[in-house]
Chain A
């Protein structure tokens, strides 16, 4: 009985989530507007939790721990501290404007906004496949993370049933269960259900993360002893410093990666759920602190696991190290189950938003555009959204069965794609002269350059450019080059083409002084 307790805890947690989805359904107003943007009624705390929970995926917990296990404490500076500065900058400088424009004109998806802002119906059709294609690796990270953690936790639990994974629950089964649970509560309650589940799950994974940190530290003789062991077992390139693991240019050019939040379609949708602009205040201020609360323990657990000499199970890679650490170092099976449920919470709190937005985009940007809004009932719109989500999830699930990539590196490639498109959203709200033709050209160039470099990396591995200019561990992050290509194309083609109409400019760049004078 005792060995299976962690699984019972995880099962109980998943059932609790389903119940939460059903309860949120009682508040569902039955309209597509409520399903897609919760009738723009989400308050400050729930926005903070849902935006943070959505941003922190398997990448933040499983990926960061695995990366710190091999690369050391510098992983925090690569992603977490840059993200604290840059994510909030995106929320403040871009998110609030997008929320205001979205509310004023009734937008639900990015493509609707870009299509109107850049006066180009073709742009919507062009952006849709790009955004969906980039979301697939993002979903993949979640499935890989969930599979790896549960595998690490359940080694030798079912030796006769799952002999090929050394008795552990295989990733294909974990992926199936996680997808089933998330799809159910997303379908039941839409984005409100997603926001509720996000809030709950974010609180769970932040709390369990801190508990895991203290439990693992205690098992290693306390935080001081755990860190000391890492130092004692280090060669000349200790995991307690960056030298030998991370290059200086690599460290600097990682700054472009967090710009991805400006173009995440699921985050765009969460912004639109905000009740008012003031709702953003809590998110803008506390997002960096929430990142710190989650990432510092994960990084330390990663380097401590290396110092302790823990290794991933046979056939698994560093993605599994967090699950292994929980299993080996947390004595109580109840706590081990709770901690694993917390890790799954972080993963599912991103998957749900991504599922939700994929459905919204398909319905609003493709189905309604092609069929006309009047020809589809609200019920048909919801069913179309759900059908497309299932299609994308099935595709992602099948890819997850054959890929063995490291979560951290794969995530960075996914984020790099979105980040490279950031100049477009920045221009949309700050540069009146940006044109639709330029955006189409910029998206095309971005796709080509990203695809080329992604192939060069071995389809999702760690890859640095111009390494021959630097020492053996240094180089430029590909995202820096891709974003520059997008930016230059956008600027050059905008100047070569006719500017947007005065009507469009006045629609998206309101003259507040003039409006004030008119009212008086």
Chain B
């Protein structure tokens, strides 16, 4: 990815795709078993969890909020009004 903006758009696109894929209506009445013991509806969502981890790994790699991190670590801290 050439720029942070492109990366951010790509991550957002993936997030939207994953959001939509959660509604797996096609397995709604399916009782098929995969790997010998996992109902297909459960297996799908377990894989979905893995894909969510991949999405956030990409976000951490490509769109990490470095500016906020640097800002927080600066020493000239203002004190709160409490």
Which A residues contact B (CB, under 8 angstroms)? 73-74, 76-77, 80-82, 84-85, 88-89, 92, 96-97, 99-101, 103-107, 112, 115-116, 217, 222-224, 226-228, 231, 234, 238, 240-243, 248, 251-252, 255, 276-278, 281, 284-289, 291-292, 296, 299-300, 303, 364, 368-369, 373, 507, 510, 512, 515
Q: What string of 1s and 0s marks CB contacts (under 8 Å) between B38-71 and chain A?
A: 1101100110111011011101100011011101
Residues of A contacting B: mostly: helix
Do A241 and B36 contact each other (CB < 8 Å), given the known contacts A76-B42, A81-B48, A84-B53?
no
Q: Is the interface of B mostly helix, strand, loop or mixed?
A: helix
Given contacts A85-B19, A97-B68, A251-B23, contact A223 B37 (CB under 8 A): yes
From residue A248, how far is it (CB to closest CB) to chain B in Å? 6
Given known A88-B52, A104-B71, contact A74–B78 (CB-CB < 8 A) = no
Given contacts A76-B45, A277-B65, contact A227 B50 (CB under 8 A): no
A105 touches B77 (CB 8 A): yes
CB contact between A85 and one of B52, B64, B73, B81 (< 8 Å): that residue? B52
Nearest Cβ on chain A to B19's Cβ, whole angstroms: 7
Chain B residues with Cβ below 8 Å from A73 are 39, 41-42
For A251, give the chain B residue with the smallest CB separation: B23
User: Chain B contacts of A238 at CB under 8 A?
Assistant: 31
A-contact 0/1 string along B1-29, CB 8 Å cutoff: 00000000000000100110011110111
Known contacts A77-B22, A100-B71, A223-B36; is-contact A296 B56 (Cβ 8 Å): no
Contact A289 B42 (CB under 8 A): no
8 contacts between A and B (CB under 8 A): A77-B22, A82-B22, A88-B56, A227-B33, A227-B37, A227-B38, A240-B31, A277-B65
- Indicate if the CB atoms of B69 and A100 lie closer than 8 Å: yes
Given contacts A223-B37, A231-B33, 6 further A-B contacts (CB under 8 A): A92-B56, A96-B68, A97-B68, A104-B72, A105-B77, A296-B42
- B50 pairs with A116, CB closer than 8 A: no
Number of A-B contacts (CB under 8 A): 159
Give min CB distance, B62 to chain A, whole Å: 12
Q: Out of A74, A105, A231, A289, name the residue touching B53 (CB < 8 Å).
A: A289
Q: How far is the CA of A284 from the CA of B58 in the complex (A)?
A: 11
| B19 and chain A: residue at smallest CB distance | A85
Q: B31 to chain A: which residues have CB within 8 Å?
A: 231, 234, 238, 240-241
A241-B30 CB under 8 A given contacts A103-B72, A106-B77:
yes
- Separation of A243 and B23 alpha carbons in the complex (Å): 13
Contacts of B50 in A (CB 8 A): 288-289, 292
A277 with B37: CB separation less than 8 A: no
- Structural contact, A89 and B15, CB atoms closer than 8 A: yes
Contact between A106 and B69 (Cβ–Cβ < 8 Å)? no
A44 to chain B, nearest CB (A): 12
B42 touching A507, Cβ below 8 Å:
no
CA distance A487 to B42 in the complex (A): 33
Nearest CB on A from B18, distance (A): 6
The CA-CA distance from A286 to B53 in the complex, in Å, is 6
Q: Nearest chain B CB to A67's CB is how many angstroms away? A: 14
* B44 → A minimal CB distance (Å): 8
Determine if B52 and A512 form an interchain contact, defined as CB atoms under 8 angstroms apart: no
Distance between Cα atoms of A116 and B77 in the complex (Å): 15
Contact of A100 among B29, B45, B72 (CB under 8 A): B72
